[in-house]
Structure 1
């Protein structure tokens, strides 16, 4: 794995309030912001994005069920080249002492899996829908 963080996803209780805060804080033009029904993405410098996602959706996406105290507040994401690389990185995380939280799975967003580090922090490894 070439270590890099491409996306930081933050769970929020009030998407509109959080969007307003970060919009003012970052001062980004509209073309660097993408909003959906349950999320807002800010495209920052380099290949880094900050995504605000409703906390309940973050917990569900991360396979944690109900959003209760102790569920993910932040997920770090690493973009892989293709589904095979996603699986290889998940395997490497296990060899390093981590644990698979959610095996690689195809969805409308591409192919992604989650692993936990030795401290229970959640990482998403993904390749987009257009990746090989």
Structure 2
């Protein structure tokens, strides 16, 4: 895997407060911001996004029962070329001593999986759905 960080997701305790902070900090137009009930995304270009996500939900993504000390406060996302590439990288993760948190799964966002490295840092692998 040649890492290309496509998304950095940061865990926050207060989504509205964090949004206000980063909105004031980043020089970005309103058209480059997307928000849902549980997240805010800043789209800097076609290859990089910065996302705010509740820390409790990051804990769940990481397979932890709750957000305790040592729960990752961020997720690094790597955009793979295909679902097969996602699965190939997961196989390499296991050989290298990491652990698969969530195996490759198809969703409306594409094909994705989560793993943790040997130190417990969480990565997302994703392959976007093919255009119709």
- Is the TM-score greater than 0.5? yes
1:25 match:
25
Provide the aligned C-alpha RMSD in A.
Answer: 1.9
Q: Under a length normalisation based on structure 2, what TM-score does the superposition of the two structures give?
A: 0.89
Displacement of 1:19 = 0.4
1:47 match:
47
User: Helix, strand or coil for the counterpart of 1:3?
Assistant: coil
2:77 match:
77
1:103 match:
103
CA distance in 2, matches of 1:24, 1:47: 22
1:57 match:
57
CA distance in 1, matches of 2:50, 2:39: 10
Runs of 4+ with >6 A deviation: none
Change (3 A) 1:4 1:40: same
2:3 match:
3
Which runs of no fewer than 5 residues in structure 1 stay unpaired? none
Specify which structure has the higher proportion of strand: 2
Q: Under a length normalisation based on structure 1, what TM-score does the superposition of the two structures give?
A: 0.89
1:114 match:
114
User: Helix, strand or coil for the counterpart of 2:63?
Assistant: coil
CA contact (8 A) 2:72 2:120 kept: no
Change (3 A) 1:59 1:97: same
Q: Deviations over 1:37-93 (max 9, x none)?
A: 110011125611110001122222333232222222111000112211111111112
2:91 match:
91
User: Helix, strand or coil for the counterpart of 2:21?
Assistant: helix
User: Helix, strand or coil for the counterpart of 1:44?
Assistant: strand
Which runs of no fewer than 5 residues in structure 2 stay unpaired? none
